[in-house]
Amino acid sequence: MAELNGTISYREAVAEGIAREMRRDPSVVCLGEDIGAAGGVFKTTQGLFAEFGPERIWDTPISEQAIVGAALGAAMTGVRPVAEIMFSDFLACCWDYLANEIPKVRYMTGGQVNVPLVIRTANGGGLGFGAQHSQAVENWALTIPGLKIAAPSTPADVIGLMASAIRSDDPVVVFEHKGLFASKGPRPPEGHTVELGRAAVVREGTDVTLLALAATVPTALAAAERLAEDGVSAEVVDLRCLIPMDLSTVLASVGRTSKLVTVEENPHQGGWGGTVVSVVVEEGFELLDAPVRRVTSANVPLPFADNLENEVIPTVDKVVAAVKAVVDY
Amino acid sequence: MSEGKELLALYEQMAVIRRVEKVAYDMFLAGLVKGTTHLASGHEAVAVGASAALRPDDYVFATYRGHHHTIARGGSPEACLAELMQKATGICKAKGGSMHLTYAEGNMLGSYAIVGAHLPMAVGAAWSARLRGTDQVAVAFFGDGATNIGAFHEALNLAQVWRLPVVFICENNLYMEYTPIGSVTAVEHPAAGRAPAYNMASEIIDGNDVLVVRDAVARAAARGRAGEGPTIIEAQTYRHYGHSRTDPAKYRPAEEVEAWLKRDPLDIARNRLESLGVDSGEIAEADRRATETVEAAVAAAKAAPEADVAEAFTDVWADGGAAWRN
């Protein structure tokens, strides 16, 4: 699976992260559409069926409610299921479970049951899949108290956050970004974990904080590189999780730079940056020397054509323009 | 235990449930119970009969009409009534309410108020039993109205494809909420009529006869434990109250109501007890104990403190807390 030279792709890291947990904990099982012998439509479960067999890797019908509903029932009764929803857009088909069942069971029973459940899903655009297979919907999950939410940007974080998600006794939705599957990075050592709810400062800077998530992290890093050529020092923070939300790292970074630009792939309306910014202005207003800017997807359904999609989603050019407006304020 | 003794115990459980529901109804009118309730008077035999056929380690999932299932699986009337009355001693710490009664200690894993949502969950519990190598079965109780929602069909298909030990028990009381199920369903029997499409075993039974229910669920559970897959049981029954607390159920014809009230599950059990030779004094004694149990439960629930406001911020996460940020 992984290359011998010490790098691993984001796509391979998904399977590797799951496999590491399945090796250490026999109660971890996977279910989803085409995840078995087919290895997943994105090949993110490649090799799992061969290693763990049909009693731990379960192909399901195209029945999103049955997939996550059964995963929930299993999670309540001594199993740690990892359920795949093929495209995150399809979460809408089983939204009752994410909105009404999974996040509420523990609370409304007065803590009588735990829900150690992972739902993983391929999220995001940039690949020309059109309006129903391209959305970044991490903000949907953010509207529901009771779900933890991870969205890794690197192969090492995929493995580290997958480990924490699977070991968590709470439900975690893991958004894997389709645009990152082919990207590569260092292969983390065995036992690597990334705590849920810990953001990472992935580039230090002094003039502006770029707060990014998943595929917008490389976008923000590319923008920071270009801005450096113009003498602007951008700090890039990878939020990594939406819940728990590491706002102290965000506020500390804004304290250093006094300016904030969020880079979000979800639409501007209801996007996660709105929650971040509301806290920053409530608790960090004195830290700011310029208005906050949000670079987001536009409030339209995602179009098919490359040039139209680029017009709508965050790009390096848009981030650079937003930063320049903020630093010139 | 003799059949008479066992039936007398089941009768007493049903009598307790009947009294709990009456108390819930009365306390609602008195303003002591808020929100809504979906009372199970008339449905007692389904819960008690099924529980009699199940093992303590089997799993049960119920709907928002779930008081009877909670009590039948061992949840105390006091904790259930305290929950309805928003007391700290409520079975869900007053965070669930009437529609979400849960007694995990008895593997009664919840009452769910989104129609049909818990059927896939029961499939998952049965899948879990198989993964863990046990012979537990999982039961989903649901109303007739659930049979036209997608989750019902997804659950049936997956349970059968994976040959899981699930018992799907439809409490068919003829009405979804206010509309007759027959007027909105393409088959005569809303649950059992769907079984052939999933190549699944099914039975249509008298849901008001506790022994009939017990025996049917025992057969279905045995099939599940033997690896023969899921079963649908359509238990025909009737609710004595309306759908929920605001519903006087005027849409039901008087003669229909009258006919079903003559088939009250407690009366059926009482007649059976008499024909089994159980002394009428013993039956009266069971009724008296049931009354005492519920009266004591009401008194204790009334005396309990109301929920501590700090509880609003516990139990979201497994660490007991509710923190969403640092």
Per residue of chain A (329 residues), give pLDDT as tens.
444 559 999 999 999 999 999 999 999 999 999 999 999 999 999 999 999 999 999 999 999 999 999 999 999 999 999 999 999 999 999 999 999 999 999 999 999 999 999 999 999 998 999 999 999 999 999 999 999 999 999 999 999 999 999 999 999 999 999 999 999 999 999 999 999 999 999 999 999 999 999 999 999 999 999 999 999 999 999 999 999 999 999 999 999 999 999 999 999 999 999 999 999 999 999 999 999 999 999 999 999 999 999 999 999 999 999 999 999 99
Mark whether A158 and A214 lie in a shared domain.
Answer: no
Give the domain extent around A265.
Answer: 200-327
Q: How many domains does chain A have?
A: 2
Mark whether A146 and A255 lie in a shared domain.
Answer: no
Helix (H, G, I), strand (E, B) or coil at B243: coil
User: Which residue ranges make up each domain of chain B?
Assistant: 3-313
Query: Does the beta-carbon distance from B161 to A71 stay under 8 Å?
Result: no
Query: Measured between CB atoms, does B114 come within 8 Å of chain A?
Result: yes
Distance CA B280, CA A107 (A): 45
* Mean pLDDT, residues B106-134: 98
Task: Report pTM.
Answer: 0.97
Q: How far is B321 from chain A (nearest CA, A)?
A: 10
| B155 interaction partners in chain A (CB closer than 8 Å) | 65-66, 69-70
Distance CA B241, CA B35 (A): 16
Distance CA A281, CA A112 (A): 38
Of B222, B241, B244, B239, the C-alpha closest to B231 is B222
Query: Does the beta-carbon distance from A70 to B124 stay under 8 Å?
Result: yes
Return the pLDDT at A2: 45
Residue A237, domain member (yes or no): yes
Query: Measured between CB atoms, does B283 come within 8 Å of chain A?
Result: no
Query: Does the beta-carbon distance from B120 to A106 stay under 8 Å?
Result: no
Q: What percent of chain B has pLDDT over 70?
A: 100
Query: Does the beta-carbon distance from A109 to B92 stay under 8 Å?
Result: yes
Residue A174, domain member (yes or no): yes
Distance CA A250, CA A237 (A): 7
Residue B282: pLDDT over 60: yes
Distance CA A161, CA A217 (A): 16
Chain B interface, mutation test: which of A62, A100, A109, most B Cβ atoms within 10 Å? A109
Cβ atoms within 10 Å of B179's Cβ, excluding its own? 11
Query: Does the beta-carbon distance from B109 to A76 stay under 8 Å?
Result: yes
Q: Which of A29, A58, A65 sits opposite B150 (nearest CB)?
A: A65
Q: Which of A186, A209, A232 is the last residue of a domain?
A: A186
Backbone angles phi, psi at A259, to 5 degrees: -145, 145
CB hemisphere CA count around B275 (13 angstroms) = 6
Query: Looking at the annotation, which residues of A are catalytic?
Result: 64, 133
Mark whether A21 and A132 lie in a shared domain.
Answer: yes
Residue A30, domain member (yes or no): yes
256-295 in A: which are within 8 Å (CB) of B?
A: 279
Q: Which of A163, A186, A209 is the last residue of a domain?
A: A186
Q: Which of B90, B125, B155 sits opposite A66 (nearest CB)?
A: B155
Mark whether A206 and A181 lie in a shared domain.
Answer: no
Mark whether A15 and A154 lie in a shared domain.
Answer: yes
Give tens-digit pLDDT for B160-199. 999 999 999 999 999 999 999 999 999 999 999 999 999 9
Among 3.40.50.1820, 3.40.50.970, 3.30.1240.10, 2.40.30.10, name the CATH number for the domain at B3-313.
3.40.50.970
Distance CA A165, CA A168 (A): 5
Q: How far is B27 from chain A (nearest CA, A)?
A: 22
Q: Which of A56, A69, A108 sits opposite B100 (nearest CB)?
A: A108
The full DSSP string for A77-106 is TT-EEEEEEEEGGGGGGGHHIIIIITTTHH
Distance CA A188, CA A163 (A): 12
Residue A217, domain member (yes or no): yes
Backbone angles phi, psi at A95, to 5 degrees: -60, -30
Residue A1, domain member (yes or no): no
Q: Which of A159, A186, A213 is the last residue of a domain?
A: A186
Give tens-digit pLDDT for B17-28. 999 999 999 999
| A65 interaction partners in chain B (CB closer than 8 Å) | 117, 120, 150-151, 154-155
Residue A297, domain member (yes or no): yes
Residue B246: pLDDT over 90: no
Query: Does the beta-carbon distance from B109 to A113 stay under 8 Å?
Result: yes
Tokens for B29, please give them.
């009118």
Q: Which of A110, A168, A169 sits opposite B95 (nearest CB)?
A: A110
| B122 interaction partners in chain A (CB closer than 8 Å) | 73
Residue B69: pLDDT over 70: yes
50-79 in B: which are within 8 Å (CB) of A?
A: 59, 61
A245, B325 in Cβ contact below 8 A? Answer: yes
Query: Measured between CB atoms, does B92 come within 8 Å of chain A?
Result: yes
Helix (H) or strand (E) holding B27: helix B3-29
Query: Does the beta-carbon distance from B317 to A73 stay under 8 Å?
Result: no
Would you mind telling me the total number of residues written for chain A in this entry? 329
Mark whether A272 and A170 lie in a shared domain.
Answer: no
Query: Does the beta-carbon distance from A108 to B128 stay under 8 Å?
Result: no
Task: DSSP letter for A189, please.
Answer: P
Distance CA B82, CA B98 (A): 10
Residue A80, domain member (yes or no): yes
* Mean pLDDT, residues B47-61: 98
